[in-house]
Structure 1
Amino acid sequence: MTKRLAGRVALITGGGTGIGAAAARRLVGEGAGVVLCGRRAEPLTAVAEALGDAAAVVAGDATQAADVRRMIGAAVDRFGRVDMVVANAGGHGLGTVADTDDAAWAQSLDINLTSAFVTVREALPRLCEGGGSVVVVSSLAGLFSGPAVAGYVTAKHALIGLTKSLARDYGRQGVRVNALCPGWVRTAMADEQMDALAATRGLTREQAYDLVTTDTPLGRPAEPDEIASVIAFLLSDDAAAMTGSVVVADSGAAAVDLPTIAFAHTD
């Protein structure tokens, strides 16, 4: 593995599991120091212990400015700087509009959108000091809608608007901001969704993953490490000309013309 990120320091929200944990491993492998943030200390600590002195942990809520400031303070105390942000915290936003009450709507926006907004806002002074880089983890749901996930789809779409606003306003200060839109990724959150689908169809979890990726060109979900490699690229100087970009890593799902799928299944 290259050391493209040697000497740099990243804040990673949602760093205890899935894409966040994989990103931490990848960035440390590329020479970076990382500070992991999440609401639960246990998974964060487990990830950090495996990474040794290159990782620090701050248990907290990425929607709360005070907690994000503690995260930034921990990065400065431990490593002396903040160069990168992976705004990865997020969660469900289930239900149609009619089924979503005010509390559920607010929660979906908080965990998926406000978490990224607050984290990047609080980190901007540090990022502007030496030219920083941000990856906002949106979703394929930031480009397309799924059934009965109105809160999630809305928040993930909004993350792309946040990315473009940040890119426009802070590019001249040397800050690059790009959005990443994964499709299905084999994570604990996706496992829960597969289990729910499997229960309704009489399938196993693996059969459910097969079902949701049947019509994607690669025919499989991504692995967290594959998404982490895209994050590392976007943070690195290899992507120096990219800001305000929306990068899709979805096993090819967005390349499929859904109305023509029926013509492909004629046997």
Structure 2
Amino acid sequence: MTEQRVVIVTGGGTGIGAATARVLRAGGHQVVVSGRRAGPLAAVAAETGAVAQVADTTDETQVAGLVAAAVERFGRLDGLVLNAGTGRPGAVGEVTVEDWEAVLRTNVTGPFLTLRAALPHLLATGGGAVVGVASVSALRNGHGNAAYATSKAALLQLCRSLAVDYGRQGLRSNVVCPSWVRTEMADRPMGRLAALGGHDELGAAYGEATRLNPQARAGEAAEVAEAVAWLLSPAASLVNGAVLTVDGGISAVDPGTVPFGFRVERRED
């Protein structure tokens, strides 16, 4: 058995999941990355020394196998990063039932099944820590985003339920809510935006999407990964049931101030 902290990262082959594996491995953790595609997982494992385990989190049997493999390999489980996710566009009257169910299955039921399998092992190590990777879409909404926003709000409350129900047993459960982060998943809608705007490069689309952000840029996956790693760590020992926005400040913006260019005029009393 290892005395190093052991963490499972779902959706660990690309984007925020892969960046989280890098940060955790650099910090001395043992990491198991999971996902549906063997190729990206193998690349992350080769780069970082993480263990790759192909598993579809929407499949209860595969999730049970993922957790069992991690515990068999390392003898314990200390942390879980619920990062696997998907999105399908559409307003309530437009999104198909199939797309709705696919998003909810991946973004809510998958984390639920993973938690059910992992909880006994997390509690056995004194509680452990869970971090859900949600989105500012859990807090704010946009056009044609019904399924994704609903699923991320549900993930937020699923993680808060853990904090309430298992906090006395030592479990901590928190959520990060990123805004636009340059990832493979985000590149797809940015590609559509670029085409609509006549842009040749994704960078222009990211710039357009983040022009109202106080930091005026998209995030990098490593920036979110650092926040995830902190929430998993003993440094966040009293942080439980929290929602940490990692969004450059966009969720703090009052849209009604936008026409004023964020300027506040000084009043003379």
Alignment TM class, shorter chain as reference: over 0.9
The match for 1:22 among 19, 25, 29 is 19
The match for 1:170 among 157, 166, 171 is 166
The match for 1:143 among 139, 142, 151 is 139
Give me the TM-score of the superposition, normalised by structure 2.
0.94
Partner of 1:84: 79
Amino acid at match of 1:76: V
1:242 is aligned to 2:247: no
Partner of 1:259: 256
Partner of 1:3: none
Aligned partners of 2:246 and 2:13: how far apart in 1?
21
Structure 1 residues 78-121: Cα deviation after superposition (integer angstroms, max 9, x where no partner) = 21111100000001131011112221111010111111111112
Structure 1 residues 143-192: Cα deviation after superposition (integer angstroms, max 9, x where no partner) = 01111010001001111111111110000111000011001101011111
Partner of 2:266: none
Partner of 2:196: 200
Aligned partners of 1:7 and 1:221: how far apart in 2?
34
- The 3-state SS of whatever aligns with 1:242 is coil
Give me the TM-score of the superposition, normalised by structure 1.
0.94
Q: Percent identity?
A: 46
The match for 2:230 among 216, 233, 236 is 233
Structure with higher Rg: it is 2
Counterpart mapping for 1:6-21 below 5 A: 7-21=4-18
- The 3-state SS of whatever aligns with 2:182 is coil
Aligned partners of 2:262 and 2:176: how far apart in 1?
31
Identify unmatched segments of 5+ residues in structure 2. Answer: 264-269
Alignment RMSD (CA, Å): 1.3
Amino acid at match of 1:64: D
Aligned partners of 1:15 and 1:197: how far apart in 2?
26
1:73 is aligned to 2:68: yes
Aligned partners of 2:43 and 2:26: how far apart in 1?
17
Amino acid at match of 1:32: H
Partner of 1:155: 151
- The 3-state SS of whatever aligns with 1:77 is helix
Amino acid at match of 1:155: S
CA contact (8 A) 1:35 1:74 kept: no
Structure 1 residues 4-32: Cα deviation after superposition (integer angstroms, max 9, x where no partner) = xx710001100000000000010011110
The match for 1:220 among 217, 224, 227 is 217
Q: 1:265 to 1:164 in 2, by over 3 A?
A: closer
1:265 shift after superposition: 8.3
Amino acid at match of 2:70: A
CA contact (8 A) 1:58 1:70 kept: no
Partner of 2:111: 116
Aligned partners of 1:242 and 1:265: how far apart in 2?
32
Aligned partners of 2:88 and 2:4: how far apart in 1?
37
Post-superposition, which runs of at least 4 consecutive aligned residues in structure 1 deviate over 4 A?
none
Amino acid at match of 2:89: L
1:260 shift after superposition: 1.5
- The 3-state SS of whatever aligns with 2:181 is coil
Q: 1:244 to 1:49 in 2, by over 3 A?
A: same
